[in-house]
Structure 1
């Protein structure tokens, strides 16, 4: 077990009289690289806590100041405070993801496919957070059950409280992922319906003009012997017949409810 491992996930591993616990928390403002949640590796034993981070975690300076003020009396107290703080920071982020999906559901319409990028991002963020929130809950529950005398009862209560909050966040993130997938399917169906409707309109228009094209092509042949070719009303007769055929075909499609398909 190595505190300097490049890739870690939240876990709790007792070793002798101490414990290694890896947690994930929000990255510091201005850090735009990698995962939203950065790792902190902790070795804790009676009277000592050693922590290591490759990327700065938001809020650690506040915890350090409080520790220097003597507000934390033992390693269990410090780790419990860190866990509660991380839960406080992630909770509103998860709630915001849920609100984003709610907004997408409310605005979903025939033009709703323009929101597909927002839905895809919300789903991607939910998957990314859930990947660490679930094992973090398990790690905190495991630490709360360790039989070390330097972990006091109130520390165990706070650790379980943080674990419960992460469990609730994991459920919310799973719901966000499923709702986002359902919204994506609905948007795909709406786009398919719109394409089908437009294709139907094009097909109907083509069917209306098909007999008209035949009639006008037949009378437009440049050959001798066409009846009434030189009659002064021939043009208007063909035009009237074409209008009649067009109206008749269009009326048939309207009665057959093709335009409402």
Structure 2
């Protein structure tokens, strides 16, 4: 659902989005948020004067990456943040596009943004006086929401690293692969988002005030730190995955060694029993009552001797 917030003096109120044309000329600051999946997007955008055609296309684009671009009297800012937990489908990071010019900010997203309600509360409380306040607050809220998520990736990997030597947990390979995939997906958007925020700080626009630049710098620094953490998580995940794979290979080799030792122990016994089991005349002691137990004792002694030899030569050492 599209929403319209209007600031006149120190009073901020939410109005029907269809009233945009009536209030845009008299308001000190207008924030129009559009639901990209709604039917009224084109009609509402048509009411906004002097929006460059490339900006309109970028606002409605389905696939975007974080960036900041200046277009004459305004700037287009794309950022990515965590989606609404109740509506996450597919990519956990949701794109929000913002067109900012003097006294006006137009944002558009196709899926619910997790921080949107907090932004609305700040807007209605009168904290946003211009587009710079809105954009810097959006950047801060996005980084604050992402920070614990990325920290959780590192914590989850720490717990796996602690248990990597436990052979009973080789199934953790799939969890490590999942963590690495998530880290790569986050880094894909956070790295350009940092560059977009840094570019936004350099814009010579009247609505980008010194305190906005300070907040943008803080958000950019957080993005840089999170990108570094994600890079570390990706590298550590690769190392842990290799260690788990090596452990599994070692476990399989150990099992193969045990089978080989057992086969070698029974190899001479199989020869003896096969030789004595031939149905021909001339087998020694074939008709003696103690012959069977004699062969059994001989086999046990031979098997024991082979096992002792394997132990003495450290074949059975783990």
TM range (shorter): over 0.9
Which of 267, 271, 290 is 1:214 aligned to?
Answer: 271
Question: Does residue 230 of structure 2 align to residue 142 of structure 1?
Answer: no
Structure 1 residue 131 corresponds to structure 2 residue 188: yes
Residue of structure 1 equivalent to 2:211? 154
Q: 1:172 aligns with which of 212, 229, 243?
A: 229
Query: 2-side partners of 1:225 and 1:63: how far apart?
Result: 100
- Could you tell me how far 1:192 is from its partner in structure 2? 0.3
**Match in the other structure for 1:120:** 177
How far 1:83 moved relative to its partner?
A: 0.4
Q: Of 48, 52, 64, which residue of structure 2 is paired with 1:8?
A: 64
User: Larger deviation: 88-97 or 242-251?
Assistant: 242-251
Structure 1's unaligned 5+ residue stretches are none
Mapping for residues 1-261 of structure 1, pairs under 5 Å: 1=54, 2-108=58-164, 109-261=166-318
Higher mean alpha-carbon deviation, 24-33 vs 199-208, is at: 24-33
Greater strand share, structure number: 2
Structure 1 residue ranges (4+ consecutive) displaced by more than 6 angstroms after TM superposition: none
- Higher relative CO (CA 8 A, sep ≥ 6), structure 1 or 2? 1
How many residues were matched structurally?
Answer: 261
Query: How far 1:151 sits from its partner (Å)?
Result: 0.8
In 2, the alpha carbon distance for the partners of 1:3 and 1:34 equals 21
Distance 2:99 2:284 in 1: 103
Q: CA deviation at 1:224?
A: 1.4
SS state at 1:55 partner: coil
Deviations 1:176-198 (A, max 9, x none): 11111111100000000000000
Indicate the SS of the match to 1:194. helix
Partner SS for 2:167: coil
1:110 is displaced (CA, Å) by 1.6
Task: Compute the displacement of 1:59 (Å).
Answer: 2.0
Question: RMSD in angstroms over aligned alpha carbons?
Answer: 1.1
Q: Secondary structure at the match of 1:259?
A: coil
Larger deviation, residues 100-109 vs 158-167: 100-109
Map Cα deviations across residues 116-143 of structure 1 (whole Å, 9 max, x no partner): 2221221111111111111111100000
Partners of 2:163 and 2:249 in 1: CA distance: 18
